[in-house]
Homo-oligomer: A and B are copies of this chain.
């Protein structure tokens, strides 16, 4: 009996598993230059809106990475025992929680609202079916000390601005209400804790039959309050009016409408009020960002809380925040390449002053190191002649 040979499709993440582990990849020229350009454009867009960058370390105490925001799981992180402290360290899988730590400790006394940005690599111990990549570039912005409509709209608009600056087009944003079921249970439709869990699960699965048998028949209309923002918010309002003591969602619906009005035509807006995937720690508002031609979400954000016990001289901490994280790798891979730069080949014995002057004027140069070096083969577009650069 022979075993059938599995045909293994090539993975974009790791073209050669014998050279690099699955889900990890090199970015080679000219893609690495495009990645730097995208990072700069996004960080600069955030700086223009008043955000100051922070750079937390690659590695922290596992407990720190899990302590300050709800729902953060460390079992997806690379963890190891620190030979110095003998405590467990983890490689960051999400920089937002690091910014939360900074907000609660080192920058606990800075004036609020405080705007911080970050850009760096994050790592997880394994990929999954939809996202085989284990390492990603994460770029984000957080407003610490505000979670109102103005903060939410600023976060949505800045995410759109940063993506456009990086070359994305046809951006759409999907709004959600991450704590919708809890809010309804609290304000309009009391339920036992395990019913709440079951209702959430069936709404996540978008399973009408399951929802009804879990005791959530009243929530069935939520499954249909999705799609283009204007029609979906109207259906959500209708549902809210119909449910016992109608109007429990009144402030939420008004807030969503205000955010949508502020975003205007900067992006196509949709609503999926029960969507919770990827919103582990968000509170009343969440959003997911997409761009034309790119599979999957480019990032997500929303409102959340940063809290923590008193620690190392810092008082206990609890404050609201709003922010977003973008994962621009698919955009970098799909972007057109910027036109190849003009590179001047410098023959052996060239005038070094002339070469430095060209670089000062924005040219790139590439010098001969052997008398056999061939400027054209080395990707140069020009050669330095007696009168300056000459096209090859």
Residues of A with Cβ closer than 8 Å to B?
A: 16-30, 32-33, 35-36, 40, 43, 47-50, 52-61, 64, 78-80, 82-85, 87, 89, 91, 98, 101-102, 105-107, 111, 113, 115-116, 120-121, 123, 125-127, 134-135, 143, 146, 148, 150-151, 154, 311-314, 341, 343, 348, 359, 363-370, 373-374, 377-380
| B residues in contact with A311, CB < 8 Å | 18-19
A to B CB contacts below 8 Å, 29 in the list:
A18-B311, A18-B312, A19-B64, A21-B60, A21-B61, A21-B82, A21-B84, A21-B85, A26-B102, A27-B55, A27-B56, A28-B54, A28-B106, A29-B52, A29-B53, A32-B52, A32-B53, A36-B53, A40-B40, A49-B365, A49-B367, A50-B343, A50-B364, A50-B380, A57-B135, A80-B80, A84-B126, A111-B374, A113-B373
Q: Top 8 nearest A-B pairs by Cβ distance? A: A50-B366, A29-B52, A18-B312, A27-B55, A24-B57, A32-B53, A150-B369, A48-B359
The residue in chain B whose Cβ has the minimal distance to the Cβ of A23 is B84
The residue in chain B whose Cβ has the minimal distance to the Cβ of A355 is B49
Copies of this chain held together in the complex? 2
A113 CA to B378 CA, complexed, in Å: 8
Given contacts A19-B101, A50-B343, contact A369 B26 (CB under 8 A): no
| B residues in contact with A101, CB < 8 Å | 19
A377 CA to B154 CA, complexed, in Å: 20
Distance in Å: Cβ of A197 to nearest Cβ of chain B? 29
Assess the A32–B50 pair: CB atoms within 8 A.
no
| B residues in contact with A313, CB < 8 Å | 16
Assess the A115–B366 pair: CB atoms within 8 A.
yes
A50 CA to B346 CA, complexed, in Å: 10
Assess the B49–A369 pair: CB atoms within 8 A.
no
| B residues in contact with A348, CB < 8 Å | 150
| B residues in contact with A26, CB < 8 Å | 54-57, 98, 102, 106
Assess the A28–B146 pair: CB atoms within 8 A.
no
Distance in Å: Cβ of A349 to nearest Cβ of chain B? 10
| B residues in contact with A120, CB < 8 Å | 121
Distance in Å: Cβ of A218 to nearest Cβ of chain B? 35
A16 CA to B102 CA, complexed, in Å: 12
Given contacts A48-B359, A49-B359, A343-B50, contact A59 B123 (CB under 8 A): yes
